[in-house]
Structure 1
Amino acid sequence: MKPVDSFLNRAELVSKSEAETHAEVAAFLSCPASYPHHPDEVRVVETHTALVFMAGEYVYKLKRPIALDFLDCRSLEARRRNCQSEFAANHRLAPGVYLGNVPVTREADGTLAISGSGTPVDWLVVMRRLDQANALDQRIAAGLVSISDVDRVCRTLAQFYLSQPPIMTSPVGWIALWKEKVAIVRTSLSDPSFGLPEDEYQAPLQAIEQFLARSSGLMTTRLAQGRIVDGHGDLKPEHVYIGEQVLIIDCLEFDERLRWEDPFDEIVFLGLECRRLGAPWIAPRLVDQMAQLLGERPPEELLRFYRTYRACMRARLMIEHLRDEAPRTPEEWPRKARLYLKFAIEALSPGDQS
């Protein structure tokens, strides 16, 4: 089974030889016989930045040799470093899940091998495979999430946040980073080629820009209080596993600055995604429990800013899929972007707790 890698249709992002090698490695990893533990089958999952090979009890992640606005993995060395960063970042919230980094090698006879004696042609992140039924998004879909489940997630996250040293950066640098992130969101959502109605994105964008201009002191106060830590960076329901132990995978690995976060920003994002999946009750529970466990709660104005920004940011990520050479389900991305913009507008209301 050879996976379709539509992202590599953009030839300007990678050399022909690199693209051919990537396709060869992907085909090799799609075959059960390629693995030392001989799984019965291999299921391939595509993400924006990687191909994920579900091979029996293990998972192997292959980075795409592409350049996007937030990372550049075109070189073998860049992919090796990215794999190392992912392994290091994820030990914190998923102990025992991430097993290491191994090369795909070109052997003397020209064949490929996983961790062979030949020359590395690519690198993999190796993980222990988790039971998908325990993922929070799957439990929401099955109607199996309880209040105690949410509280367990909060306890795991609170313990993690309290163990992280505060980020040491200047107030000017902190606000500059936020302005940079918001500017990127505006550039995408206002791009006329996407055709998003101005009345759907203008109000929330103006609200978050005005907050940064007039109320940024709330954010620099959080920084001065040591509330900003190296967090997860991409806290979505599909990354949260609720089994005997709460495990949280897929920390954002390519830019540590994008993991510099207020814990309440992260859990607001998790609550937003739970709402999208049909469980809006989880969002206020997350905030209330985290406030109790951390012993403090940000002002509601700041929480509203986080909700609005996160919804706009997700709208931006949805609509950006249309820049792909051959986007999958192109009709879906504007619909999803407009749903998030609806959430962003609703978050402007002082009474909104989602």
Structure 2
Amino acid sequence: MDTTLVNALREQLQRETGQPVALVETHISWVLLTRTQAFKLKKPVSLPFLDFGSVEARKHFCEEELRLNRRFAPSLYIDVAPVCGTRESPRIGGAGTVIDHVVRMLRFPDSSLLRNLLVEDRLQPALLDGFAQRLAALHVAAEQATPVSGFGSPDSIVRAATDVLAALRAQGDDSRLATLAALDTWIREQGQVLRMAWIARQQGGSIRECHGDLHTANVVLVDGALMPFDCIEFDPALRWIDVMSDLAFLTVDLKAHGRDDLAFRFLDAWMQHSGDYPGLQVWRFYEVYRALVRAMATGLGPRPPDGEARPDYLACATRLTTQPEEGARLMITHGLSGSGKSSVALQLLCAAGAVRVRSDVERKRLYGLDPLARSVALGLDIYSAQATRQTFERLRACARDALLAGYPVIVDAAFLRGAERRSFEALAAEFRVPFTILDCRATPATLRRRVAERDAAGTDASEAGLAVLERQFEWQDPLEADERALAIEVSTEDTVDIALVAARWRAATASR
């Protein structure tokens, strides 16, 4: 490919700044990096999924890139600037003949990319929680596609996946042909299994104008928060997608990097703010598809420097097509307010690859409240007997969706009433999956201290204060003998051995 223009631009920027200018190349663009800014020049290429062949097309897609990415990263994207002059002597801006365009951005250090934070083990997991919350809000605010648009139709979803497989076969690595054939069979089978689920999501408003390329190299830490950038601008069909497909790109990249724990933590935080438990039915398919997309993209791009390892996305896709041996199972938590149920459940879902449903969150969702909203301040009584019945109906519905999708499920609630516990034991029996009770305990003094501190901080979804705790001491229904036989008892006075708890949960699954 002729690199005259980009090399001349690089030299011009070096003369203007008096400093070296780095060049980063992908399969569809060049990015010139000064000390403070980045200039993205689209390659004049025509590929099966895009056409940047003309100056007019590149200008259009530069403008689209600016418009679309300002939804996610308004502080990073500055403008679209013309490239004037000649290919041998170009300049950015000014008068003269316009020969191309660049997207101008603020530069950030490569060390701030989520990919590098992950590889170098510098990622604080709490950053993913905040990002998941913001991503869920962006998905809610994004424009919905109408069913007649064709976006998100079952046929288009399967075709997109098989097209990627065809592109991978065309890369000419014969050693992968058997693997690709097996994946092709799985994708076509799932296309039949998931057809009605996809139609329901298309008609239910789950197809929205998303990011479309949400892997770890397209998320950056800016001012203490993770921010997505570089979304898909060149093909509407690649960004008008199921929100679950958008989410799956990031979770599968975390899994490909060996961090299933962070993938399930990110899913958990996103679910708390989206409530999209029906989407779990299609999540695995989208993760497989997204892993194949990453395998294709890494094959198209420049070869990595010697010694630099890349995740094996094809192996990741294959692993995801195989159901885990333990499969679906159901756990409920049990314990008084402040007993550490939510803290242990969060650690356990990361260790076991499970889906959590939180009563404190779902109770508020029934009233249209965010997880951290305070119902008392709004004059709402969300703890009435009727509200509690509705909350447990919601918990059962969410747990049912997750079990149908084949995932282990943790229902995070106090479960102090025997009837509530029996209801979920019956749900497990309906699905013929193991039922386990995570029985969390702490001393009364510890419970009172934790509840008071949590109430003062206001950073947790629970609104159970000291008055609620004191009432719980009086009316809880202790576990009966047969329930104790199903229980894993943990004291949260000291550090809980999560690996041991996860192993005991899996052992219960294997024995039933």
Q: Return the offset for 1:196.
A: 3.3
1:188–1:320 contact (8 Å) kept in structure 2: no
Partner of 2:167: 188
Q: 1:317 to 1:100 in 2, by over 3 A?
A: same
Out of 331, 344, 347, which is 2:317 matched to?
344
Partner of 2:218: 239
Q: 1:213 to 1:251 in 2, by over 3 A?
A: same
Q: 1:207 to 1:23 in 2, by over 3 A?
A: same
Q: Return the offset for 1:91.
A: 0.4
2:147–2:203 contact (8 Å) kept in structure 1: no
* Deviation larger for 179-188 or 52-61: 179-188
* Equivalent position amino acid for 1:208 in 2: I
Partner of 1:3: none
1:233–1:258 contact (8 Å) kept in structure 2: yes
* Equivalent position amino acid for 1:83 in 2: C
* Equivalent position amino acid for 1:181 in 2: A
Is 2:199 the partner of 1:226? no
Partner of 2:144: 166
CA distance in 2, matches of 1:96, 1:251: 15
CA distance in 1, matches of 2:278, 2:124: 26
Task: List runs of 5+ in structure 1 lacking aligned partners.
Answer: 1-7, 9-18, 322-326
Out of 112, 118, 122, which is 1:144 matched to?
122
Partner secondary structure for residue 40 of structure 1: coil
* Equivalent position amino acid for 1:214 in 2: V
CA distance in 2, matches of 1:175, 1:30: 49
1:64–1:73 contact (8 Å) kept in structure 2: yes
CA distance in 1, matches of 2:49, 2:305: 22
Partner of 2:23: 44
Partner of 1:93: 72
Partner secondary structure for residue 40 of structure 2: strand
Partner of 1:257: 237
Partner of 1:123: 101
CA distance in 2, matches of 1:93, 1:304: 25
CA root-mean-square deviation? 2.7
Is 2:192 the partner of 1:213? yes
CA distance in 2, matches of 1:318, 1:111: 32
Q: 1:330 to 1:247 in 2, by over 3 A?
A: closer
CA distance in 2, matches of 1:203, 1:88: 40
CA distance in 1, matches of 2:218, 2:174: 31
Q: 1:128 to 1:189 in 2, by over 3 A?
A: closer
Partner secondary structure for residue 260 of structure 2: coil
Partner secondary structure for residue 45 of structure 1: strand
Q: 1:299 to 1:155 in 2, by over 3 A?
A: closer
Q: Return the offset for 1:215.
A: 2.2
Q: Return the offset for 1:330.
A: 11
1:304–1:350 contact (8 Å) kept in structure 2: no
1:25–1:112 contact (8 Å) kept in structure 2: no
Q: 1:71 to 1:330 in 2, by over 3 A?
A: farther
2:12–2:91 contact (8 Å) kept in structure 1: no
Q: 1:141 to 1:318 in 2, by over 3 A?
A: closer
1:30–1:43 contact (8 Å) kept in structure 2: no
Name the structure, 1 or 2, with higher relative contact order (CA <8 Å, separation 6+).
1
Q: Return the offset for 1:264.
A: 2.1
1:268–1:283 contact (8 Å) kept in structure 2: no
Q: 1:279 to 1:30 in 2, by over 3 A?
A: farther
Partner of 2:264: 284
Partner of 1:4: none
Q: Return the offset for 1:27.
A: 2.2
Partner of 2:282: 302
* Equivalent position amino acid for 1:274 in 2: L
* Equivalent position amino acid for 1:348 in 2: T
Partner of 1:29: 10
- Give the number of aligned pairs: 324
* Equivalent position amino acid for 2:112 in 1: N
CA distance in 1, matches of 2:85, 2:49: 30
Q: 1:31 to 1:229 in 2, by over 3 A?
A: same
Out of 252, 269, 279, which is 1:272 matched to?
252
Within-5 A mapping of 1:59-98: 59-98=38-77
1:140–1:278 contact (8 Å) kept in structure 2: no
Q: Return the offset for 1:124.
A: 0.6
* Equivalent position amino acid for 2:126 in 1: S
Partner of 1:313: 293
* Equivalent position amino acid for 2:318 in 1: I
Q: Return the offset for 1:319.
A: 4.0
Q: Return the offset for 1:51.
A: 0.8
1:72–1:78 contact (8 Å) kept in structure 2: yes
CA distance in 2, matches of 1:232, 1:39: 36
| Greater Rg by CA | 2
Q: Return the offset for 1:68.
A: 1.1
Q: Return the offset for 1:152.
A: 1.1
1:59–1:127 contact (8 Å) kept in structure 2: yes
CA distance in 1, matches of 2:259, 2:219: 15
1:264–1:287 contact (8 Å) kept in structure 2: no
Q: 1:219 to 1:39 in 2, by over 3 A?
A: farther
Q: Normalising to structure 2: TM-score of the pair?
A: 0.58
Q: Return the offset for 1:25.
A: 4.3
Q: Return the offset for 1:210.
A: 1.2
* Equivalent position amino acid for 1:32 in 2: L
* Equivalent position amino acid for 2:188 in 1: E
Identity of aligned residues (%): 26
2:80–2:102 contact (8 Å) kept in structure 1: yes
Q: 1:349 to 1:97 in 2, by over 3 A?
A: same
CA distance in 2, matches of 1:78, 1:141: 36
CA distance in 2, matches of 1:89, 1:122: 20
Q: Return the offset for 1:180.
A: 2.5
